[in-house]
């Protein structure tokens, strides 16, 4: 070493007698999967391939970005000892995994998502509220503000006739409600042109809503350009600028969809049936929630894509996950946080979360 030059000591993450994949799966309550299997009747269809093994397999398929059934099954066989340490999970055969995705009720994956989210929020009150101390627009309101939108997941028309989207295309449409209280990008203040109270003049429309409406006209910035937009609402208490801000915040759900499709495996599906596709969509949401919890807990300072790729390479390492994330990278940064899904459904599903009544 040359005189006057200090060498930087590289501190390795702490060792732990558990793989990174196991530590992620331990965030799911131990009793939850067997309980949901009994409630949905999935336990009656399992033989050698248990429900816990099925869930762990699907979680691994999402994080590893596996392209096919063979990719998942072959990789899990290579780590059969470490896999058994995750609640006695066993690697499936190709046909076994395909059959499980087809016949086992995907309501198990849906309820598992909501149950795990509820458990994490009850144990860690700061999770999914205001990440990293950043302020959001929702501090103005005493109620929860949500945005609703849908995204299209492309499928193969040749082998998925149930998902007909257009004449020669197939797709599944996923509807989602996003809670804005979880953090939003900063928006610019709009220019209010007019704010007036109006009534509907059409006889049929007035019969449906005889009350007074509010018509707000403002210049809103969209894609870097200002556009004149008109908003018709029934709330007369909010400021006109708040109405425009809420519209701009709606685009955060588009960012959420983009992030979900880029980081999770929602391009190549491990089955052709509608049930198999729903299994993969719900496990993708579950994996994203678990990773975002780890980012929140470790105060991850980089973007979410880097977190996913980093953990993908470290799945089978026996290192403490918290210290592993704390020692990642050399430069400080700011984590662009997104809201968590309050609701997601496919056509034919109930549009209310499981266990709640409309």
Q: What's CA 5's distance to the chain center, in Å?
A: 46
Name the 3-class secondary structure at 171. Answer: strand
Q: Tell me how far apart the alpha carbons of residues 10 and 355 are, in angstroms, rounded to a whole number.
A: 49
Q: Tell me how far apart the alpha carbons of residues 114 and 342 are, in angstroms, rounded to a whole number.
A: 9
Q: Tell me how far apart the alpha carbons of residues 214 and 239 are, in angstroms, rounded to a whole number.
A: 11
pLDDT at 292: 87
Question: What string of pLDDT tens digits covers the 358 residues of the chain?
Answer: 455 555 555 556 666 778 999 999 999 999 999 999 999 999 888 888 999 999 999 999 999 988 889 999 999 999 999 999 999 999 999 999 999 999 999 999 989 998 998 898 888 877 765 444 444 454 455 555 565 556 666 655 455 555 555 656 666 656 656 555 543 323 345 677 888 888 888 888 888 888 888 888 887 766 667 778 888 888 777 777 777 777 766 666 677 777 888 888 887 778 778 888 889 889 988 998 899 898 888 888 888 888 898 999 999 998 888 888 877 754 444 444 444 454 555 555 555 554 454 4
Other beta carbons within 10 angstroms of residue 333's beta carbon come to 11
Instruction: Identify which of 114, 150, 109 has the alpha carbon closest to the alpha carbon of residue 280.
Output: 109
Other beta carbons within 10 angstroms of residue 197's beta carbon come to 9
Q: Tell me how far apart the alpha carbons of residues 74 and 45 are, in angstroms, rounded to a whole number.
A: 24
Instruction: Identify which of 101, 99, 118, 98 has the alpha carbon closest to the alpha carbon of residue 109.
Output: 101
Structure-block tokens of residue 358: 């409309």
Strands 341-345 and 170-179: antiparallel
Q: Tell me how far apart the alpha carbons of residues 41 and 28 are, in angstroms, rounded to a whole number.
A: 20
DSSP 163: G
pLDDT at 96: 93
Q: Tell me how far apart the alpha carbons of residues 71 and 58 are, in angstroms, rounded to a whole number.
A: 12
Torsion angle of the four alpha carbons 250, 118, 343, 33, in this order, in degrees rounded to the nearest 10: 140
Q: Tell me how far apart the alpha carbons of residues 273 and 101 are, in angstroms, rounded to a whole number.
A: 8
* Exposure on the CB side of residue 327, measured as CA atoms within 13 A: 12
pLDDT at 132: 42
Instruction: Identify which of 267, 309, 312 has the alpha carbon closest to the alpha carbon of residue 64.
Output: 312
Q: Are 146 and 178 in contact (CB under 8 A)?
A: yes
Torsion angle of the four alpha carbons 253, 254, 258, 261, in this order, in degrees rounded to the nearest 10: 70
Q: Tell me how far apart the alpha carbons of residues 33 and 28 are, in angstroms, rounded to a whole number.
A: 8
Strand partners, 341: 178
Q: Tell me how far apart the alpha carbons of residues 64 and 13 are, in angstroms, rounded to a whole number.
A: 21
pLDDT at 56: 94
Instruction: Identify which of 284, 292, 283 has the alpha carbon closest to the alpha carbon of residue 261.
Output: 284
Strands laid side by side in the 225-233 sheet = 191-198, 213-222, 225-233
Q: What pTM does this model have?
A: 0.67
Structure-block tokens of residue 326: 């704390």
Structure-block tokens of residue 304: 């979410």
Q: Tell me how far apart the alpha carbons of residues 81 and 77 are, in angstroms, rounded to a whole number.
A: 9
């Amino acid at each position: 070493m040359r005189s006057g030059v200090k060498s930087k000591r590289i501190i390795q993450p702490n060792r732990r007698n558990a793989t990174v994949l196991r530590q992620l799966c331990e965030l799911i309550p131990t009793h939850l999967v067997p309980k949901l299997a009994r409630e949905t009747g999935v336990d009656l269809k399992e033989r050698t391939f248990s429900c816990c093994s099925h869930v762990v397999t699907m979680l691994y398929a999402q994080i590893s970005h596996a392209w096919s059934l063979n990719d998942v099954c072959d990789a899990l066989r290579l780590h059969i000892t470490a896999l058994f340490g995750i609640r006695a999970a066993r690697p499936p055969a190709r046909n076994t995994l395909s059959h499980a995705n087809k016949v086992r009720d995907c309501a198990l994956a849906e309820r598992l998502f909501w149950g795990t989210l509820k458990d994490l929020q009850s144990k860690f009150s700061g999770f999914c509220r205001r990440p990293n101390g950043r302020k959001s627009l929702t501090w103005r309101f005493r109620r929860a503000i949500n945005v609703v939108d849908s995204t299209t997941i492309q499928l193969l028309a040749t082998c998925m006739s149930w998902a007909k989207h257009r004449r020669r295309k197939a797709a599944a449409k996923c509807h989602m409600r996003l809670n804005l209280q979880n953090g939003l990008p900063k928006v610019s203040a709009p220019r209010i042109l007019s704010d007036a109270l109006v009534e509907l003049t059409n006889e049929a429309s007035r019969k449906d809503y005889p009350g007074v409406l509010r018509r707000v006209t403002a210049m809103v910035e969209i894609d870097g350009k200002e556009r004149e937009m008109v908003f018709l609402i029934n709330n007369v208490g909010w400021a006109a600028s708040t109405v425009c801000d809420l519209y701009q915040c709606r685009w955060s759900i588009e960012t959420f969809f983009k992030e979900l499709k880029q980081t999770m495996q929602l391009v190549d599906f491990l089955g052709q049936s509608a049930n198999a596709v729903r299994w993969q969509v719900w496990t993708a949401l579950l994996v994203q929630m678990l990773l975002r919890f780890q980012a929140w807990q470790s105060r991850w300072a980089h973007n979410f894509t880097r977190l996913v790729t980093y953990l993908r390479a470290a799945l089978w390492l026996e290192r403490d996950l918290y210290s592993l994330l704390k020692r990642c990278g050399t430069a400080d940064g700011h984590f662009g946080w997104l809201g968590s899904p309050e609701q997601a459904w496919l056509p034919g599903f109930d549009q209310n979360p499981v266990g709640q009544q409309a």
